[in-house]
Structure 1
Amino acid sequence: MLTKLEHAEKKWGGSHKLIDQWLNHRRMLLIQYFKIAGLAPYTRPDKKLPPFQTVKNFCAQLVDYVSEGHFEVYDQVVTACEEFGESSRAVAQALLPKISDTTDMALDFNDKYTEADDEQVLYQLDKDLSKLAQSMETRFELEDELLEILHSRHS
């Protein structure tokens, strides 16, 4: 996922302040994901579960990221696509429901870990992080496709 992010940053970085901010937030989210998952270079030598509060902080960051897409970035990208014709708008509009499906997964993950009263829920973290990673990878691909439409047709 980080390699794909680097590709996106190279391709679209510097084209718009909002896009730069969004990609930076994606990077920060991925770093936090790697930390709580204990993935390289953030492996935990003691193999302990991450602190519960760290997982909750990640959840807040996850919700911020998906919200930023829905309430700031997507609307602006779709509006820009509309300016360049019906086919661009149609493609952009077709991607949004697919992205929304990944939002549901992120919100379910958030709800599970922020509403839990017992740290025992952390024993399910590895399985849930794996599912979340698949969903987020799909989301990032769809978001990149949205950016590519705008970039390739209108730059």
Structure 2
Amino acid sequence: MLKQLERAEQKWGGANTLIDQWLNHRRKLLVNYCQIAGLPPYESLDKSLPEFKSVKEFCDLLVDYVSEGHFEVYDRVVTACEKNGESTQNLAQTIVPKISETTDLALDFNDKYTEADDDKILYQLDKDLSSLAHAMETRFELEDKLLEVLHANAS
């Protein structure tokens, strides 16, 4: 996912402040994900679970990222697509509902870990992070298609 982000940053970085901000937030989310998942370069030698507080901070970033897409970025992309013909409008109408499916999984993850009052839930974290990673990878691919449209219409 980080390599996918780097490609997106190289392709669209600096073209539009909204795109730059969104990609920066995606980077923060991915770095935080790697930290709580214990992925390189953040793996710990003792393979202990992350602190409950760290997981909740990740959930905050996750919800902020998902919300920013739905309430800021997608609206601008859809508006740009409406102005630039039926084919781009159809693309946006096809992609946004698919992204919404990944939103549900992200919000379920958030609810599970922010509403928990016992850190024993962290024993389920690896499995849940794996499912979330798959959904977010799909989401990032779809978002990149929207970014392509936004970039093409912002230029």
CA distance in 2, matches of 1:54, 1:43: 14
Query: Do 1:84 and 1:154's aligned partners in 2 also have CA atoms closer than 8 Å?
Result: no
- TM-superposition CA deviations, 1:28-76 (whole Å, max 9, x none): 0000000000000000111110000000010011000000000000000
For structure 2, list consecutive stretches of 5 or more residues without a partner in the other structure: none
Query: Do 1:29 and 1:62's aligned partners in 2 also have CA atoms closer than 8 Å?
Result: yes
Matches within 5 A, 1:2-151: 2-151=2-151
CA distance in 2, matches of 1:93, 1:76: 13
For structure 1, list consecutive stretches of 5 or more residues without a partner in the other structure: none
CA distance in 2, matches of 1:38, 1:21: 26
Matched letter for residue 18 of structure 1 = L
Bigger relative contact order (CA 8 A; separation at least 6): 2
CA distance in 1, matches of 2:117, 2:154: 49
Matched letter for residue 70 of structure 2 = H
Judged with a 3 Å threshold, the aligned counterparts in structure 2 of structure 1 residues 154 and 68 are, in CA distance, closer, same or farther, namely closer
CA distance in 1, matches of 2:48, 2:5: 28
CA distance in 1, matches of 2:106, 2:64: 11
Question: Any idea what SS the aligned residue of 2:45 has?
Answer: coil
Identity rate, percent: 70
Shift of 1:150: 3.6
Question: What RMSD, in angstroms, separates the aligned Cα atoms of the two structures?
Answer: 1.1
The two structures have a TM-score, normalised by structure 1, of 0.97
Question: Any idea what SS the aligned residue of 1:66 has?
Answer: helix
Shift of 1:25: 0.1
CA distance in 2, matches of 1:153, 1:117: 46
Aligned length: 155
CA distance in 2, matches of 1:18, 1:152: 14
CA distance in 1, matches of 2:45, 2:26: 26
